[in-house]
A and B are shown apart, each in its own frame.
Chain A
Amino acid sequence: MISAITKAFSNLLKKPYTCNYPVTPVIKPKNYRGLIKFNDEYCIWCDKCEKVCPPNAIIFKQFEDGHKVYNYNPYLCIYCGDCIRACPKTGDALWQCEEKGLPSISKDAPNDDWFILEKEAKQSRENYKAIKAAKKKS
């Protein structure tokens, strides 16, 4: 106990461990698993990333002319990197950057909007299928 007391006193003179975070940024190590980034120029629209993602944080919305739009929710993504490993065009079409996600406020509605989007995407797929089927028939 005496040593602990002397330690308490000596700590008083030592520099604290604290990194003054918002003032001085923390250095992330190389290959930190941050946000997922996407580039539609290289994507071959194979949908593998969407299928493999455990929480379905990547959703493609289908348009009637056949093209798709990529949607990603950083508030749903668990940053596992499975999509990156599944993607045949890793690095070009889809990659994990070293940026961390930033907090959002209730106005942004990261949850509610996603519900709507999820529904729309599902609907859009079905519509597209129906259109395709109709085309085939005709």
Chain B
Amino acid sequence: MSWFLALFAPVFGTLVSGIDRVVRARMQRRLGPPLMQPFYDMFKLLDKRPMMVHKLHIVLGVMHFMALWASIALFMFGGHLLYIIFTHLLSVIFLILAGYSVRSPYSHLGANRELLALFAYEPILILMAVGFYLTCGSFEVSVITSNSPAIVSMPLMFIALLILLPLKLKKSPFDAPEAHQELCGGVEIEYSGFFYEVIYVSKMTEIIFVYALVFLFAGQNILLGIILVTGSFFLVNAVDNATGRIRIDHLVKKVYATAFVLALLALGWISYV
């Protein structure tokens, strides 16, 4: 089962992103693309002639995806939550390096912003892991998922994660690192053809990573997990459709002022109650 989940995580991610695009279109009162659209995109990208800048750029892109996939796999096999978070961190760092490795100013700015965003969300992820440790007594995902739902004991932590969701999914208001209109996609700008596909797939995989974290809050209760995931999915989309993009410095400030504080409060609550 976990083999299956880990192996097909990118596929599921793509599917979710297909649903995401349809939901977003409907929220804007458009018909929207077909449900399988991201798959069509991927197959098409396989067919394009690649035009790349240099080898290092490619290698870093591929490493980004591999590290991300590895972190998902760790997750599915019930690994150590901190390892998972750090593998994920590693993958993001590869992406940032890839952004710095080319000379395009957009790519550099994108990497800058990605880095700032990383500083914004990484501490909260770690605090979250600590929270899980405090409630379930272990960093192991397998232990957490066999415990009672963690959302009951740390609802504030869940809200903090909800605030991070748009940031990780590159949705407004926290989509400054990608910023279609300013940076044309930021770090991914110089990728093309098959190699863009890699980045594209890792974006899809990221979705699974994020929703897996949401799922974690439900513990052993799978039904609750599904409710949490779909609930947060629609909420994120609605918020995406109700806000504009805020600037990267506002982003960092806002995330620290809300999510970080909430996470700290949640930890305090756990240790007092």
A and B touch in the complex (CB under 8 A): yes
Given the contacts A8-B237, A9-B234, A16 and B242 also touching, CB distance less than 8 Å: no
What is the bound-complex CA distance between A1 and B132, given in angstroms? 32
Query: How many Å from the CB of A54 to the closest CB on chain B?
Result: 36
CA distance A14 to B28 in the complex (A): 10
Please tell me which one of the listed residues A12, A15, A16, A20 contacts residue B23 in the complex, with CB atoms under 8 A apart.
Answer: A12
Q: Enumerate chain B residues within 8 angstroms of A20, measured Cβ to Cβ.
A: 31
Name 21 A/B residue pairs within 8 A (Cβ), A-sorted: A1-B243, A4-B241, A4-B242, A4-B243, A5-B238, A7-B242, A8-B27, A8-B237, A8-B238, A8-B241, A9-B27, A9-B234, A9-B238, A11-B26, A11-B29, A11-B241, A15-B29, A16-B29, A16-B31, A16-B32, A20-B31
A15 to B29, CA, bound (A): 7
Q: Please, what's the 1-or-0 string for A1-29, where 1 marks a CB less than 8 Å from any CB in chain B?
A: 10011011101101111101000000000
Q: Which residues in chain B, 218-267, are within 8 Å of chain A measured between CB atoms?
A: 234, 237-239, 241-243
B55 at the A/B interface (Cβ < 8 Å)? no
> Across the interface, which residues of A come within 8 angstroms of B30, CB to CB?
16-18
Most interface-central of B30, B237, B239, B242 (chain A CB within 10 A): B242
CA distance A15 to B242 in the complex (A): 19
**Taking beta carbons and an 8 Å cutoff, which residues of B are in contact with A?**
23, 25-32, 234, 237-239, 241-243
Give which listed residue, A1, A5, A7, A16, contacts B26 with CB less than 8 A: A16
In Å, the complex CA distance between A9 and B239 comes to 10
- Please, how many angstroms separate the alpha-carbon atoms of A99 and B23 in the complex? 36
The answer to whether A1 and B242 touch across the interface, beta carbons within 8 angstroms, is yes
